[in-house]
Amino acid sequence: MLFTMTWRNLSRRKRRTLISAFTVAGGVFFSVAFTATGDYAYTNMINTSATMGFGHVTVEPEGYNLSPTLQKRIGGANAIREKALKIEGVTDAIVRITGQAMFASAAKSVGGVFIAVDPSQESPENNIYLRSMVEGSMLDKTDGRQVVVGWKMAKKMNLRVGKKLVYTTTDINGEIVSEVGRISGIFKTGVDAVDGSIALIPIDKMRSILHYGPDEATLVSVFIDDQRFAGQMRDVIASSLAMKGVDILTWSQTQADMAGIIAIDRRMNYLSQFLVGLVIAAGILNTMFMSVLERKREFGIMMAVGMTPGRLFRLVLLESFWLGLLGVIMGALITIPAYIYMSNIGIDLSSLVEDGADVGGVLIDPIMKYRLYKQSVAAILSGVFALTILAGLYPAFKAGRVAPVENLKIV
Amino acid sequence: MIEKNSNTPIVRLSSVTKIYKQGRMEVKAVDALTLAIGKGEFSALCGPSGSGKTTTLNLIGALDIPDSGDVMLEDRNLRDLSRTELSRLRRDRIGFVFQAYNLVQVLTAYENAEFVLNLQGVPRAERKERTMALLKEVGLEGMENRRPDELSGGQQQRVAIARAIAPEPAIVLADEPTANVDSATAGALLDLMEKLNQEKGVTFLFSTHDERVMRRAKRIMTMRDGKLVGDEAKN
C-alpha cells in the first residue's frame, strides 16, 4: 500500500515531481562533470608526470629525493627491476640515472638535467620524450655518443641533429667529468622548462663517465596500471624488495609540487560538488516539505484512522526514495550521452589555455575530457541518492508529528 | 461479530475537561463531562455549534487528550497510551465517519475501504474478501476502482462507512455524517448505519444537530457549553 500511495502521491503533482527529479538529475550531471573532468585531468597529469622520469613509484637511494646527488646510487638495479615487474599491477619498470649537468655547444652553455636511459627498456608509453620526438631519432645504444635534447635547449644552443654537445657533471668521487656527445634527436613536450633543460644520454655511457658499476643507477621508475593505488603499490613493492638503503616513493612524493596543486584542486572540486549538493538538497527539501504541508489534512485523516507516526514517516521517506531513484535514473539518461561525447571527443579549450601552460612542469591538456572510475560512478549515484533521502528526512519527521485533531480542521 | 446491545460500557468519560486557548482567552470546550456508551448503542450527541460535541467525539476517538478527567475505552485509559499506541487503538477499536468524508484522494474506493485492514496487516486474500463484502453491503458494488473525485458525496460517505466498520471496531464515531449530503442520500446513509447497528451490532455515536439523525438515534445526549444537559433513551 505504501508503494502504491507514494507513486500516486508523486504522480499527483507531475510537474513538481518532474522538476524535482530534474534537480536530482542535474545534480548527477554536474557531479559527473566535476568528477569526470577532475579524474581525467588528474590522471592525465599524474600519468604524464610519471613518464617524465620518475614513474608512479620510484625506487631510489635513501635520501636522494631530498638531496639528490650522483654519489647516491643503488646497486642491483636490474634485479630490482626484475622483481618489480613480477608484481601484479606493475606494468613496467625502468632503470635510469638522473642528475644535473652543464651542457655546452659551440654557441652557448646551459645548465640542465640528464636522464641516462637504456633504450631497450624505454617505450613511448612510459617516456614522454620518446613520444615527443620531432626531429632525428631516439638513442639506439646504451653506450654510444648519442644525445637527445629538447627543442628549446637545441634552439638556445644552436643545436641540430648531428651537432656536437659537451656535457659536464660530477662523478661518484665528486670529480668533474665531461663527455662529448652528438645530437641524434630533438623532442618537444610543449613545456618550455622541460624542453629547455632535459637531455637523454645512453645509460652505460653515463655509468662509465660517473664510474658507476654496471648495475648501478640512481633510480628504478615503476609504472602501475592505476595511479590511484600508488600508495598501496609502494607498500607491496617495499615488502617484495625488502631492501635497506633505498627509499620507495610515490609520485606524490617525487612530484610534491604537482601533488599539492592536485590536492588543492581536488578539494575545490569537492567544495563545488558539495555546493551543488546543497542546492539539490534544498530543492528536494522544498518539494517534500511543500508536499507535506499541502497534505497535512490527509495525514491527519490517515493518522485518525490508525496510521502510526512511524508508518507516516516511512511513507514520506519512501516518496523521497522514489524521487531520488527517478532523479538518478533521469540523471544517468541525460549524462550518458554527454559522457560518451566528452570521453571520446571533449571540448577544445586551446583558445583559453596558453601554449605550454603547465602545472608543476606537466603540460596542461587543452582538451577537456571526461574520465570516470567505477568507484566515482558509485559514489556519485549513491551520494546524490543519499542526499535526496536525507533531504526527505525532515519533511518525513514533520509528517510523523502531525496532530490529527488539528489537521482534520484544515479545509 | 461484535456483541450486540450489551449494557457493558465501551466508553466511559469521568469528569473530562478540555480547554482550548483562543488568543488570551481560555475556552472550556468540554466541562467536567461524565458519560458512558454501551455496546451496540445507536446514540447521538446533540447540541448547538460550539457545545462541545466534536471535542467530545475527538476525546473518545483518541484524537485528543483531556486536560483533566479520564477517557476509558474498553477499560483502557487513553492518557496512559503513547502516540503510537493511540494510533493502534484508533486503527483497531475505533471507526471514524467524518462530515467531509475524508477519504484518501489517491486511493480508489476499494483501497480506501481496505485501508485500515491493510494497516492491521490482514492478509491480502482475507482483506479482499472482507472489503468486497463491505462495499457490496454499503451499495458500492462495481465502483471499487473509482477514486473519491469520481464518486458523489453520498457514495464517498458510504466508502467512509465501509472503512470505519472494516476492522470491526468497538465503536464508530460519526461526526455530522449527513451534513454534506442531500436528504435522500442522508436517509440512505442512516438506513445503512442503522442496518449495520441492528444486524452486525456495530456501536455508533453521532455528533449531530441534524433532526433526521436525532429521530433515528436510540439515545440522545444533549450538550451545551461543554456540559451534558440531557440524556434521553428512546424505546
pLDDT tens across B82-139, in order? Answer: 988 999 999 999 999 988 888 999 999 999 999 999 999 999 999 999 999 989 988 8
Q: In this complex, which of A1, A4, A307 lies closest to B87 when CB atoms are compared?
A: A307
Is residue A55 within 8 A of residue A227, CB to CB? The reply is: no
Residue B190 is classified by DSSP as H
Question: Kind of pairing, strands A246-250 and A57-61?
Answer: antiparallel
CB contact under 8 A, A301 and B92: no
pLDDT of B2:
40
Instruction: Give dist(CA B152, CA B159) in Å, integer.
Output: 11
Claim to verify: residue A24 and residue A142 sit in the same structural domain: no
Question: A301 to chain B nearest CA, in Å?
Answer: 6
Q: B63 to chain A: which residues are within 8 Å by CB?
A: 304, 404-405, 408
Claim to verify: residue A361 and residue A279 sit in the same structural domain: yes
B62: left (phi over 0), alpha (psi -120 to 50) or beta: left
Claim to verify: residue A180 and residue A100 sit in the same structural domain: yes
Number of domains in chain A: 2
- Spatial strand order in the sheet of B204-208: B94-97, B171-175, B204-208, B42-46, B219-224, B227-233
Residue B33 has pLDDT above 50, yes or no: yes
Neighbours of A395 (CB within 10 A): 24
Chain B, residues 121-180, CB within 8 A of chain A, namely 163-164, 167
Which residue is associated with the grid cell 475556552? B27
* Amino acid sitting at position A339: Y
Identify the residue among A301, A409, A411 best suited for mutation to test binding to B, counting B beta carbons within 10 A and taking the highest.
A301
* Amino acid sitting at position A280: I
Q: B84 to chain A: which residues are within 8 Å by CB?
A: 308-310
All cell numbers assigned to A206: 653515463
Q: In this complex, which of B83, B105, B115 lies closest to A305 when CB atoms are compared?
A: B115
Claim to verify: residue A124 and residue A170 sit in the same structural domain: yes
Q: A303 to chain B: which residues are within 8 Å by CB?
A: 87, 90
All cell numbers assigned to A15: 510537474
pLDDT tens, per residue, chain A with 411 residues: 778 888 888 888 888 889 889 988 998 999 999 999 988 999 988 998 899 989 999 999 999 998 989 999 999 999 999 999 999 999 999 999 999 999 999 889 999 999 999 999 999 999 999 999 999 999 988 888 999 999 999 999 999 999 999 999 999 998 999 999 999 999 999 888 899 999 999 999 999 999 999 999 999 999 999 999 999 999 999 999 988 889 999 999 998 888 998 999 889 988 988 888 888 888 888 888 888 888 888 888 898 998 888 888 999 899 889 888 999 999 999 999 999 999 999 998 888 777 767 776 777 778 899 998 888 899 888 888 888 888 888 888 888 887 777 777 665
CB contact under 8 A, A305 and B119: yes
Claim to verify: residue A280 and residue A181 sit in the same structural domain: no
**Looking at the domain assignment, is residue A117 inside a domain?**
yes
Cβ neighbourhood burial of A171 (10 Å; 0-12, 13-18, 19+): middle
Question: A359 to chain B nearest CA, in Å?
Answer: 59
Q: What residues form DSSP beta bridges with A342?
A: none
Claim to verify: residue A201 and residue A110 sit in the same structural domain: yes
pLDDT of A360:
67
* CA distance from start to end of chain A: 25
All cell numbers assigned to A312: 507516516
Confidence tier at B3 by pLDDT (50, 70, 90): very low
Q: In this complex, which of B92, B105, B119 lies closest to A307 when CB atoms are compared?
A: B119
pLDDT digits (tens, 9 = 90+) for B52-93: 999 999 999 999 989 999 999 998 999 999 988 999 999 999
Q: Which residues span the domain enclosing A164?
A: 69-217
CB contact under 8 A, A304 and B107: no
**Looking at the domain assignment, is residue A128 inside a domain?**
yes
CB contact under 8 A, B87 and A308: yes
Question: A284 to chain B nearest CA, in Å?
Answer: 21
Q: In this complex, which of B58, B105, B106 lies closest to A405 when CB atoms are compared?
A: B58
Domain boundaries, chain B: 1-74+170-235, 104-169
**Looking at the domain assignment, is residue A226 inside a domain?**
no
Q: In this complex, which of A8, A309, A311 lies closest to B106 when CB atoms are compared?
A: A8
Identify the residue among B22, B30, B67, B102 best suited for mutation to test binding to A, counting A beta carbons within 10 A and taking the highest.
B102
Claim to verify: residue A17 and residue A141 sit in the same structural domain: no
- A317: CB partners within 8 A, 6+ apart: A389, A392, A393, A396
Claim to verify: residue A264 and residue A386 sit in the same structural domain: yes
Residue of B nearest to A302 (CA): B104
CB contact under 8 A, B87 and A9: no
Question: A277 to chain B nearest CA, in Å?
Answer: 31
Q: Among the three residues A184, A217, A250, which one is the final residue of a domain in this structure?
A: A217
Residue of B nearest to A403 (CA): B63
Is B101 at the interface with chain A, CB within 8 A?
Answer: no
Instruction: Give dist(CA A149, CA A152) in Å, integer.
Output: 8
Task: Select the CATH number that applies to the domain covering B1-74+170-235 from these four: 1.10.357.10, 3.40.50.300, 3.40.50.150, 3.40.50.880.
Answer: 3.40.50.300
Q: Among the three residues A217, A241, A271, which one is the final residue of a domain in this structure?
A: A217
Instruction: Give dist(CA A255, CA A247) in Å, integer.
Output: 15
CB contact under 8 A, A306 and B98: no
**Looking at the domain assignment, is residue A358 inside a domain?**
yes
pLDDT of B1:
38
pLDDT of A107:
86
Q: In this complex, which of B92, B100, B107 lies closest to A5 when CB atoms are compared?
A: B107
Claim to verify: residue A263 and residue A370 sit in the same structural domain: yes
CB contact under 8 A, B119 and A311: yes
Over residues B163-176, the mean pLDDT reads: 90
Identify the residue among B106, B122, B147 best suited for mutation to test binding to A, counting A beta carbons within 10 A and taking the highest.
B106
Rounded alpha-carbon distances, angstroms, from residue B95 to B91, B117, B164, B174, B233 = 8, 12, 4, 8, 23
**Looking at the domain assignment, is residue A310 inside a domain?**
yes
Chain B, residues 172-231, CB within 8 A of chain A, namely none
Say whether the ipTM exceeds 0.90: no
Instruction: Give dist(CA A76, CA B36) in Å, integer.
Output: 100
Instruction: Give dist(CA A160, CA B42) in Å, integer.
Output: 112
In A, what residues contact B, Cβ < 8 A? 1, 4-5, 8-9, 12, 297-298, 301-311, 404-405, 408, 411
CB contact under 8 A, B63 and A311: no
Q: A405 to chain B: which residues are within 8 Å by CB?
A: 58, 63-64
CB contact under 8 A, A307 and B61: no
Claim to verify: residue A101 and residue A158 sit in the same structural domain: yes
**Looking at the domain assignment, is residue A63 inside a domain?**
no
Q: In this complex, which of B84, B91, B96 lies closest to A309 when CB atoms are compared?
A: B84
All cell numbers assigned to B119: 494497516
Confidence tier at B4 by pLDDT (50, 70, 90): very low
Claim to verify: residue A99 and residue A172 sit in the same structural domain: yes
Q: Give the angle subtended at the CA of A295 by the CAs of A390 and A410, to the nearest 5°.
A: 140
Claim to verify: residue A338 and residue A392 sit in the same structural domain: yes
